[in-house]
Structure 1
Amino acid sequence: MKGGPPTPAAPPGSAGGALSLAAAAALLEEAADLLVVHLDFPAALRTCERAARSLGAGGLAGEPEGASWEVKCSLCVVGIQALAEMNRWREVLAWVLQYYQVPEKLPPKVLEMCLLLYSNMQDPGAVLGAAHAWLQDPDNQGLPECPAVAELHLRRVLLPLGRLSEAEELAGSAAFSGQQRLDALQAICAARHQQRHRPPGSEGDQEGTPHKLLSLMMLLRRLWASAMSRFASLPFKKSLLATLVLCLLLVRFDPASPSARPLICRLAQLFRRIREALLSPPHQPRIHD
């Protein structure tokens, strides 16, 4: 019986299909365990779907809105990875939109994962409309994550598709400022020069590689900072699972890339710091004779 995936139990508050926030969070932990430890991707996806359906579009009545939003966002991140592992990546955008109805309501973290996934699978056009709608929404334009989403959209979708006029318009918008705008305009100029001088049949993969690495590292820094800000308030097992899922998402979306090696080394250093922090006094367990 050891080593097999856990049998899902009916969580408290599941009568009639409605779950409490605590029960949805428990299913999130179960889904992460199925994904990372047991590699049971279909079961992980089913668990995510069960919990996400219970949260609905507007969260749970009587529960903190931010907490419901965070749990549903995390469920979608785990679900995206499960679909990608089963080679069902084409379903990802439609799957997350089941729980948010319109692209404008997607959490930045979820949209970033969609942008990375579809661009790495050489199908950036699939998320072109969704990203454009999200960036045009006034509520999203005021979010601190908006510049990162805009840069990811520009470098991973607009430039590879050759939509340079749209890229210039986006770079000149309020989503970009200062050095970020200058870097974006330089990337657009380089793409235009390459487009003019590209031999027939050339794909120009070399230009896309540094952009891919930049976007990947930018997302790693942002998501890691977000995870660490909540680390003190979460049980260790949940934090570790969340970090492992993050590692899988970032490395598996760019398999066999030379950029994977420094990324793994950096994650190993971060894990070492967590372990040292947890085992240092007063956390270090007592040793009894």
Structure 2
Amino acid sequence: MRSEPLAWPAVSAHAASLLEEAVDLLVLHRDFAAAVEKCEAGCDSLDPGAGSSPESSAEVKCSLCVVGIQALAEMNRWREVLSWVLQYYHVPQHLPPKVVELCILLYSKVREPQVMLEVGSSWLGDETNKSLPEYGSLLELYLLHVLLPLGRFEGAEELVCGCDAFDSEQQQALLGTVYESRCQWTQEEKMHSAAEEHQDAATESVLGALSQKLLTVLTLLCRALRSMSSHFYLPYKKMLLATFLLYLVVVRLDPASPTSLPLIYKLVQLFRQAWTTVFSPIDRPPIQD
């Protein structure tokens, strides 16, 4: 069943027909790619240079963009939405309120509110948009779904206090929301910092225990190698180097791999400690990097 024909006064009949087809493709046939194509064709036909005035085509153009946004979201192509609509409106200040609303909700849903940070600020800062009846609701939406999730509390307070669309009661209610969000944000930051400190302490404890065990093993190994070198008249430094290389081969450690660098650095430190422990300052052989 097809949707009822849409009546668009003083606009291109071709664009209205494309809008109707796009709605059918989106809702009935679930052919999202074809719906986007119809919306693009409709927006292109409403270009001022194509013979249609901006005033008469504003509503149908907005509807085409709304359908296109929904179709792109259904295809999980939400990253393209903002650039897609801006190719028809060119600057954020000219976006219709409905399009701004959908973009804010979409990027909030996918947890990418920062995408709308500059766009929303530009739109709300435009003097022409401030006279629109939707301005107050869009400011509140921008506050709740963009500024507060990003921790922009000072900017949120300035925006609320500078908005003439709110009366004193509405301003106080929104400022209370900002205050509660700031307190929650601070509490979560403290909990996160405490968890990181606890994890770091646990990691250092485990590494300390492993380092002590490894240091003991290296100390015993150095003593054994020193005894062997004295008994078999072999160069002590060459035996120690060969043993270390053998260890790398046995544990299948790639010295050139970035992931192995912290371990090698740790082994070098432990080797220096073992060297200091085994030898006295008088008979200690020099270590060359």
TM-score, reference length from structure 1: 0.60
Asked if 2 retains the 8 angstrom alpha-carbon contact of 1:125 and 1:161, the reply is yes
Asked if 1 retains the 8 angstrom alpha-carbon contact of 2:97 and 2:138, the reply is yes
Task: Write the distance in 2 (CA, Å) between the matches of 1:54 and 1:182.
Answer: 46
Say if 1:66 and 1:168 are closer, same or farther in 2 by CA, change over 3 A: same
Superposition map of 1:205-284 within 5 A: none
2:26 corresponds to which residue? Answer: 35
Asked if 2 retains the 8 angstrom alpha-carbon contact of 1:150 and 1:175, the reply is no
Asked if 2 retains the 8 angstrom alpha-carbon contact of 1:35 and 1:44, the reply is yes
Aligned pair partner of 2:182 in 189, 192, 201: 192
**Among the aligned pairs, what percent are the same residue?**
51
Please, which runs of 5 or more residues in structure 2 have no aligned partner? 3-10, 195-289
Instruction: Give the CA deviation at 1:180.
Output: 2.5
Q: Deviations over 1:210-247 (max 9, x none)?
A: xxxxxxxxxxxxxxxxxxxxxxxxxxxxxxxxxxxxxx
Asked if 1 retains the 8 angstrom alpha-carbon contact of 2:86 and 2:92, the reply is yes
CA RMSD across the alignment: 2.1
User: What is the letter of the counterpart of residue 50 of structure 1?
Assistant: A
Say if 1:28 and 1:163 are closer, same or farther in 2 by CA, change over 3 A: same
Aligned pair partner of 2:46 in 41, 44, 55: 55
Superposition map of 1:32-181 within 5 A: 32-56=23-47, 58=48, 61=51, 63=53, 65-178=54-167, 179-181=169-171
The structure, 1 or 2, with the larger RCO (C-alpha pairs under 8 Å, 6+ apart) is 1
2:172 corresponds to which residue? Answer: 182
Say if 1:72 and 1:151 are closer, same or farther in 2 by CA, change over 3 A: same
Asked if 2 retains the 8 angstrom alpha-carbon contact of 1:21 and 1:60, the reply is no
User: What is the letter of the counterpart of residue 172 of structure 1?
Assistant: C
Say if 1:201 and 1:35 are closer, same or farther in 2 by CA, change over 3 A: farther
Q: Secondary structure at the match of 1:200?
A: helix
1:271 corresponds to which residue? Answer: none
Q: Which runs of 4+ in 1 moved over 3 A?
A: 58-63
Asked if 2 retains the 8 angstrom alpha-carbon contact of 1:59 and 1:69, the reply is no
Task: Write the distance in 1 (CA, Å) between the matches of 2:24 and 2:164.
Answer: 37
Instruction: Give the CA deviation at 1:201.
Output: 7.5
Asked if 1 retains the 8 angstrom alpha-carbon contact of 2:46 and 2:52, the reply is no
Q: Secondary structure at the match of 2:192?
A: coil
Say if 1:175 and 1:113 are closer, same or farther in 2 by CA, change over 3 A: farther
Asked if 2 retains the 8 angstrom alpha-carbon contact of 1:118 and 1:124, the reply is yes
Q: Secondary structure at the match of 1:77?
A: helix
Aligned pair partner of 2:12 in 5, 21, 24: 21
Instruction: Give the CA deviation at 1:67.
Output: 3.5
- Which structure shows the higher helix fraction? 2
TM-score, reference length from structure 2: 0.60
Q: Secondary structure at the match of 2:124?
A: helix
Asked if 1 retains the 8 angstrom alpha-carbon contact of 2:19 and 2:63, the reply is yes
Task: Write the distance in 2 (CA, Å) between the matches of 1:49 and 1:192.
Answer: 42
Instruction: Give the CA deviation at 1:196.
Output: 2.0
Q: Paired residues, what number?
A: 183
Task: Write the distance in 2 (CA, Å) between the matches of 1:84 and 1:23.
Answer: 25
2:282 corresponds to which residue? Answer: none
User: What is the letter of the counterpart of residue 171 of structure 1?
Assistant: V
Task: Kindly name which structure, 1 or 2, has the bigger radius of gyration based on alpha carbons.
Answer: 2
2:241 corresponds to which residue? Answer: none
Q: Deviations over 1:11-63 (max 9, x none)?
A: xxxxxxxxx6111011101000000000000000000000101112x486465
Say if 1:35 and 1:59 are closer, same or farther in 2 by CA, change over 3 A: farther
Task: Write the distance in 2 (CA, Å) between the matches of 1:99 and 1:59.
Answer: 13
